[in-house]
A and B are shown apart, each in its own frame.
Chain A
Amino acid sequence: MRLDPVTLAILGNKLAAVSEEMCLTLQRTGRTLYVKETADFACALAGLDGRFFAYPRSIGVSGFVGLECAPAIAAVGALEPGDVILTNDPYRSEGLATHLPDLHMIEPYFHDGKIIAYGWCFVHCSDVGGRVPSSISPVNTEIFQEGLRIPPVKLVKKGEMNPDVALFLNANSRTPDANMGDIRAMLAALTAGRRRLEQTISQHGAETVSAAAVDLVAYAAEKARTVLARVPAGTYSFSDYLDDDAATRLPVRIALAATFADGEVHLDFTGTDPQVATAMNIPSRGRPHAWLTLRVLALVNTLDPTTPLNVGMLAPVKITAPEGSLVNPQEPAAVGVRHAAAIRVNDVLNGAFGKALPDVMPAASSGTVIPVVMAEPDGRGGRRVQVIEPMIGGTGARKGRDGIDGRDSGISNLANNPVETVEAELGIEITTYALRPDSGGAGQWRGGCGMELTFQVLTDDSNVLGRGLERLLFRPWGSNGGKPGMPGQLILNRGTERESHLGKIDVLTVNAGDTVTFLTPGAGGWGDPAARDPVAVLDDVANGFVTVEAAARDYGVVIADGAVDAVKTADLRKDMGASTLTNAPGPNAQVSGEGPERERWDAAFPAGVMDRLNRGLVALPGAVRQRRRRDIFEAVLAELPEGFPRVAASKNAVDAARQRLEAAAGSFDDVKQEA
């Protein structure tokens, strides 16, 4: 450290506050929903290396602390006072922007004629053109469908907005005024940051402020290393699946080997599926990117909440993200809904870390964020489009604590909508917005409950969109003997003769009188359910989180007349203990309870074979990769029954499928040897 402890403490506080004041300015003057309600924006101060040394803790998107401005800055050439850079292109900004609706802006802050720092901010704007309103759709196949790509350009030159850039922007958005409103708010935030930094420099001197920028990053790095050094050295592997890629029925695999040693961690995503032909790819450019490292930040912050939020937290993190894979796609892969994959990346990190820190990490959270959207005829030939509720589930249980019911801040921490404001705007009646009893995975500590949303449609020819529906197939896993949470479901006209269970929907057309029910998954449990304190089970039953039947079935606790029947409970638990032992451990080993669907899948698609296959596929040229993969899976799945893995397959079928998969993976080994 170059500064004394008093000055560093003072400047740490002040510089973080500069970034927060920028955020407050942006929020106050911003115009759109994303800024006002969901707070999908952030501001920060970057050093001469383009990395953030001061980042807001309590406002805006916290996960972007690891983004890098340097490539975007280098792309525009020499900078002068009053210049402001704008970009939204993940490829040309080398991962600063992570999908096109995110407008990123950078202003160089000068002192005595030299750049002393950069102000940065981003806003998720309403629309940047492209194939669909709001610009993002899971089924886009190329970034060209996702809207206007803005390479790093000078939006503002010496304080004057470049009219040509503004013309391009306005011509390529369905909501040019709202975008310009947000851009003005971003400029106001950058100005607020510049003024406050100037004031800080006038109080403390430029040299001291520059030294603080360096020291604060070193301080955060030291704290992060101290936390990571508590993790037992070793390599911890984990894999998890998205149910599918939104266009085909093929599950999408994310694999990780996390190696901890001496306060550092290496995250190796080798074995992850090739990039998909839909919009779920994470454009990390192979860097320790925000969307790949969120759980590391959360781990450091959970174990040492006093760590200042800056890029130093990521100093001990190394990444291997194979080019051409889901987590480092090649241009022009679509990336609009990269957060859907990021949710599962978070689960994979959580699972791998859980093997190293079983007492610290929770079981899987519900792992889904579904903005349930209604588009109903407005009677004037158009459609009213609005989010009903952003549906989430709960958080996983951990040692000593039950999971949280009906809340999950793992990937985003959005507020829901008041039912009354929704009913005031849309022709629907929301009949149930509640927790989903028995959905939380059983365990010594219970997983958080998922949720139910049921609404009655009052207008014919209404469209319901459920983008983000996930974990309908592969359940949120339990840990250390805990059971998985219940999978999600989508049900039309539940409890009537017309009841039907739907899978994933793109657009569901419904009419007046129909009811639509979304059930989100419950989170995973932790530890053996037979070891749960019967009083805790009784309490859950009294409060309705668990039914009397589930108390007996899942926990072996017999409840009669509002009390635990100790004798019957002891008997039932004796039997349970015996049956639990027969469960074979899955590929994620000590992380238990992934559910029958995943167990069946892994029997036909073993982890080791998938790792080899994906290594081979990712190495193929982009043009042939998808076709080759599709051919292999068609051949393997042909051996398995319709509906697999929801439906069990015979041992012979599973063996035949696995042999085909092994042969396909082996073919790549041959290619390698020839080369």
Chain B
Amino acid sequence: MKTSGARIGIDVGGTFTDFVLSNPKDGSLTFYKEPSTPDEPSRALIDGLQALLAKAGLTSADVATLMHGTTIGLNAIIQRRGATIALVVSKGYRDILEIARSRMPSSFDFHASKEEPLVPRLRIVEIDARLSAAGEVTKAADDAELERVASELKRLGVDAAALVLINGYTTPSVEIGMAKTLCEKAGGLSITSAAAIWPEIREYERTLVACLNAYIQPLMQRYFTGLKAGLERDGVVAPILVTASNGGSLSLVSAAERPVETILSGPASGVMAAARLAQAANVTSIITFDMGGTSSDIAVAQAGSAALATRTDIGGLPLVLPVVDVSAIGAGGGSIVWVDAHGLLKVGPQSAGAMPGPVSYGRGGTEPAVTDCYLALGYIDPAGFLGGRMTLDIDAARVALAAIGARIGLTGENGAALAAEGALSVTTAGMATELYKTLAARGLDPASFALVPFGGAGPTQANLLAVEAGINRVVIPPAAGTFCALGAAAADLRRDFVRSLRRAVDPASAALMLDILAELENEGSAWLDREGETSQTRRFERGADMRYAGQAYELRVALDESHRDAASICEAFHLEHERIYGFRDPQTEVELGTVRLAVVGVTDSITQPGVAVGTGKPVRKGERPIFRAGAWIAADVYDRTALGAGDQITGPAIIEQDDTTTVLLPGWSARTDDHGNLHLERIVQ
């Protein structure tokens, strides 16, 4: 989006609401943190925005756009606190949610339960209507049947409903028409049609997309309405965009219609910010590493694009919408260190959270957490936490860790430090093994990637993780602590479309596919127009899921303008099959499953402000001992804001900034680039 006013990115976290303001007039970035107000999240946002504007010397009238990510929908799903909804489904399929994909979460635990269904069986209404796989209506609901279903919906007294017909994906107009009729007959009840929102084959997964949407829609609409009104009271009339799980963003109107597209937007924004930053710094392949309070996440991005997944887990339910592929790899700063009944040292999965938090927070926590380990090892300064706004109780952390040490035979003067180092070794090894597995599933080797950490503890843990995982380079962004807000501010407009075809690739189906792609491109363009996107920079990303006839799985194949006939489409599939499996099978028919299109309205990139050229050898602000490999060693301490471009530091060193601390290990060096990124590299002997 081309604008001359200020662009503001906002990330609402559990503890803090982070703000980033990009002012294109002078190229400056302004950061701000406001304590979150979980009972009413828009309050922190509205109040914090005014504080941010004041800090930047601007007013409400200077705001061009607000980009905003929210976890309200996600939390409502995980805690099952969404709306009371009904599901209308083809006759014979009342148990579609109970049966699901028929798997249990554990094969071995016979006390395990299945996931709680989003809609209980008593609010699932069957309708005598369905289509065939070829797209013909084989059972049409007559007026009496529609009346019966509508009155049943009214009797149930629900807030919203979802509608799914078997094979509805083949001809979305059937379901869309029915949803409209039912809405009218049921007194204006909001009804999400599964075929309208996501016309992909696989009835259970499509039903879930529709149910999730209906489930969070009333809540999200209330939130958006309140937010808009609150901002307008303060004179902020700029368009509000909501970040999406696919790394892009939507207008407030679109987000209110399809809130399900926004549920994983928080982590997606951070990954997108890292992808852009890395590309600007000429780092092509990165693994992002977001370490927060309760857990750590990684994602892969190459050449500025984050890897997407089309099957993720949301509170035990599968989601098939394309989302930035974020994987949890273990402990966060609040993860608890403990000793099991057989004497093994363990970290997590229990977390001290923000309350009571680690022992050193002094809020009543008695079990040491990972953050307490950083403190006891000298990695973080007890007086400098959160820019000095919070003082940590290092003695309490040491006492708690010494108690752990005593249980596993680590005693004496350094008992606490040895226990802390052991716990961090366990933590780091756990993260590295999960990282290996995540990359192995995609056939990637960690050694060819740079690690880009963010989140409060990311830069503190990053060098340890890099060593353990065989990664040779770490790139630490300047504002690592408010990274997701920065990602939000720079998000493109983006929406994904699908259409399932299920037929052999031949001239007729190739033509049909091109027609569908053209139709989807028109639909996408019209959507961008409605979103208020005015620039000429639009991009369409085409793709198709294909397979050899008889194969049980499909491969995602990227297509472009050059794929205009059956032969070139088949060739694109053969090539991808060859790349992944090492061979092609030219004798076998190729089948086309689902056609995909992503439409992107490109937003101006935010360039990190440059930093002044340094002296090459920066001046340390002090020195403190850190514990490493069983002994105390002296580490130089630097102020991140005092580092100039080209400055070099040799480990061991500690580099401090307001929102995080970077640990630089012996055998590693750090260099600041023109944009203030810190590049950590293994020193080659």
**Interfacial residues, chain A to chain B (CB-CB below 8 A):** 1, 4-6, 8-10, 12-14, 16-17, 20-21, 24-25, 27-29, 31-33, 36-37, 62-63, 177, 181, 184, 192, 196, 199, 219, 222-223, 226, 297-298, 301-302, 305-306, 361-362, 390, 392, 395, 398, 401, 404-410, 412-416, 418-421, 423-424, 429-435, 451, 454, 542-545
Contact = CB atoms under 8 A, between A and B. Distances in A.
B562 interface: no
Nearest to A408: B104
Contacts of B152: none
A177 B205 CA distance: 32
Interface in B310-345: 339-345
A237 to B, nearest CB: 21
B443 interface: yes
A519 to B, nearest CB: 14
A434 B108 contact: no
Interface stretch (B109-117, B250-258, B528-536): B109-117
The residue among B93, B95, B113, B470 with the most chain A CB atoms within 10 A of its own CB is B95
A183 to B, nearest CB: 12
Contacts of B403: none
Given A28-B441, A298-B109, A362-B110, A433 B202 contact: no
Contacts of B203: 418-420
Nearest to A204: B429
Contacts of A4: 408-409
B433 A13 contact: yes
Contacts of B430: 13
Nearest to B435: A17
Contacts of B552: 32-33, 36-37
B345 A5 contact: yes
Interface string B421-449: 01001100110011011001111000000
Given A5-B343, A17-B437, A418-B202, 16 more contacts: A4-B409, A10-B425, A13-B429, A13-B433, A21-B437, A29-B581, A31-B581, A297-B108, A405-B98, A415-B102, A416-B101, A418-B204, A418-B205, A421-B202, A431-B91, A433-B92
A342 to B, nearest CB: 14
The residue among A181, A407, A408 with the most chain B CB atoms within 10 A of its own CB is A407
B582 interface: yes
Contact of A413 (B104, B111, B167, B582): B104
Given A415-B102, A419-B166, A25 B409 contact: no
A181 B443 CA distance: 17
Q: Which 3 A-B pairs have the closest CB atoms?
A: A17-B433, A33-B552, A432-B92
Given A37-B553, A192-B440, A409 B103 contact: yes
Interface string B186-214: 00000000000000011111000000000
Contacts of B342: 219, 222-223
A223 B430 CA distance: 21
Contact of B93 (A29, A404, A414, A434): A434
B104 A6 contact: no
A358 to B, nearest CB: 14
Nearest to A362: B110
The residue among A12, A418, A420, A544 with the most chain B CB atoms within 10 A of its own CB is A420
Given A301-B109, A302-B108, A435 B433 contact: no
Nearest to A423: B133
Contacts of A424: 133, 201, 502
Contacts of A36: 552-553
Nearest to B94: A434
A141 B288 CA distance: 57
A10 B426 contact: yes
A61 B349 CA distance: 25
Contacts of A545: 121
16 contacts: A5-B408, A24-B441, A28-B443, A408-B104, A409-B103, A409-B106, A413-B104, A415-B103, A416-B101, A418-B202, A418-B204, A420-B202, A421-B202, A421-B502, A434-B94, A543-B120
B343 A298 contact: no
B92 A454 contact: yes
Contacts of A414: 102-103
B580 interface: yes
Contacts of A27: 441
B640 interface: no
B132 interface: yes
Interface string B341-366: 11111100000000000000000000
Contacts of B502: 421, 424
B138 interface: yes
B201 A406 contact: no
Nearest to B502: A424
Contacts of B436: 17, 21, 196
B170 to A, nearest CB: 9
B99 A410 contact: no
Interface string B603-626: 000000000000000000000000
Contacts of A298: 108-110
Nearest to A20: B437
Contacts of A430: 92, 166
A12 B204 CA distance: 38
A8 B429 CA distance: 11
A405 B102 CA distance: 10
Given A409-B107, A434-B92, A544-B121, A29 B202 contact: no
A222 B340 CA distance: 13
B345 A6 contact: yes
A339 B339 CA distance: 40
B102 A395 contact: no
B454 interface: no
B684 interface: no
Nearest to B445: A195
Nearest to A428: B133
Contacts of A31: 551, 581
A184 B107 CA distance: 28
Given A4-B408, A37-B552, A62-B107, A433 B433 contact: no
A472 to B, nearest CB: 21
Interface string B111-152: 111100000111000000000110000100000000000000
Contacts of B426: 6, 9-10, 13
B497 interface: no
Contacts of A395: 110
Contacts of B374: none
Contact of B422 (A6, A29, A63, A305): A6
The residue among A27, A184, A301, A408 with the most chain B CB atoms within 10 A of its own CB is A301
Nearest to B347: A9
A617 to B, nearest CB: 33
Contacts of A16: 433
A240 B433 CA distance: 44
B169 interface: yes
B167 A301 contact: no
Nearest to B468: A203
B437 A24 contact: yes
The residue among B408, B425, B437, B551 with the most chain A CB atoms within 10 A of its own CB is B437
A137 B470 CA distance: 49
Contacts of B343: 1, 5
A9 B110 contact: no
A9 B109 CA distance: 23
A421 B425 CA distance: 47
A421 B339 CA distance: 49
Interface string B156-172: 00000000001101000
A420 B580 contact: no
A73 B585 CA distance: 35
A459 B65 CA distance: 60
Contact of A10 (B106, B138, B429): B429
A184 B581 CA distance: 9
Contact of B344 (A8, A37, A361, A416): A8
A17 B91 CA distance: 45
Contacts of B102: 390, 392, 406-407, 414-416
B94 A404 contact: no
